Amino acid sequence: MYDFTPKQLELQKKVRAFVKEYIDPIAKESDATGVLPLSVFKAWSEAGLACLVAPKRVGGPELDAVTCTMIMEELGYADLGVATAFGANNLCSYPVLLAGTPDQQKKHFRPLLTGNYGSFALTEPNAGSDAGAISTTARRDGDEYVINGIKCFITQGGVAATYVLFALTDKSKGSKGMSAFIVERDRPGLSTGKVEDKMGIHASNTVELILENVRVPASHLLGKEGDGMKLAMMSLDAGRLVVAAQAVGVAQRAMDECVEYAKKRMDNGKSLTDQQAVSFKIADMATAVEAGRLLVYHGAMLKAAHRSYSKNSAIAKLFCTDMAMQVARDAMEIMGTYGYTKDALIEKIWRDARILSIYEGTNQIQRIVIANAVLR
């Protein structure tokens, strides 16, 4: 079981107040326009939350996994697009936390802690689920690496100041030849391509990155040549827990929206909640949300205690993301035609929720991770 500490509860209050002041007023507009005002991220940054995992020695809050999970659940409840955008700074920071030298950590976290976004650049047009199949290369040339390739579906890639990017330093070794680099946005040869027009999470930005003879100093290599695949996998272990937390927030919001509507909506002189078919469905939603929340915080507690949590993070993502979609679907069903209109928040929640079982490893990938852990 988990219980938040007074400090965590204080932070939860602060995040809820932030959501009310900054996110609630722009959520609908951001969904319609695809623009998340920079002022909202600046305010998040000024609140000291721009990069939750940044170490104290570089000026970050260095929050533990349970606290990060709690914050991501709150953001998921508020707006999954904003949660996705704000979460990008954490995902791209894990490889630097795992393998970065003190100098690299300073270089990486400085922009992230001063109102800038960072991105995790792994996926490519021919390497999504099979992350080890990337073809972007990084060729050593004296004191530099020269990077060439294309990355796609990069969250916050169009607005990021810095990337942690994965490339092959030795093509002949496949995924064992993958390495991770810090690459700043303003490097000559780096440009953004297609901006994705997504079904939901419109507040987040998703783009293609094009790298044409991009030169970075050799000192931008994280860890050793060949460490990239492990760093990516370990980072995704952490990221998947975050996605699961967002999913719990999304599911809770879907249920709350539905309950509020069902209590007020009269049908043949009775409230919807007087119908057992409706109240039972709501009972099932509440059960599913609670079960998911326990899985997420169990995984977070293992991570915070520096225990093995890869399997638990995959289990949490698998369960919570499918659960969020199911709860959003059932909530919309109860809310009927109104739920299908743009006036109802559930319409946006349902569109947003669809990404959860897809990004940071589809749920089929989570099954591979879980099965490998169980069967090895």
Q: Note the residues at the interface with ligand CAA (CB under 6 A).
A: 120, 122-123, 129-132, 154-155, 175-176, 229-230, 233-234, 236-237, 310, 359-361, 365, 368-369
147 or 236: whose CB is closer to ligand CAA? 236
Nearest residue relative to ligand CAA (C-beta):
361
Q: What is the 3-state secondary structure (H, E, C) of the chain?
A: CCCCCHHHHHHHHHHHHHHHHHHHHHHHHHHHHCCCCHHHHHHHHHCCCCCCCCCHHHCCCCCCHHHHHHHHHHHHHHCHHHHHHHHHHHHCCHHHHHHCCHHHHHHHHHHHCCCCEEEEECCECCECCCHHHCCCEEEEECCEEEEEEEEEEEECCCCEEEEEEEEECCHHHHHHHEEEEEEECCCCCEEEEEECCCCCCCCCCEEEEEEEEEEEEHHHEECCCCCHHHHHHHHHHHHHHHHHHHHHHHHHHHHHHHHHHHHHCEECCEEHHHCHHHHHHHHHHHHHHHHHHHHHHHHHHHHHCCCCCHHHHHHHHHHHHHHHHHHHHHHHHHHHHHHCCCCCHHHHHHHHHCCCCCCCCCHHHHHHHHHHHHHC
339 or 361: whose CB is closer to ligand CAA? 361
Q: How far is the CB of 313 from ligand CAA (least distance, A)?
A: 9
196 or 333: whose CB is closer to ligand CAA? 196
CA 102 distance to own-chain centroid: 25
For residue 360, indicate whether it is catalytic. Answer: yes
Alpha carbons 277 and 285: distance in angstroms, whole number: 13
Which positions are annotated as active-site residues? 360
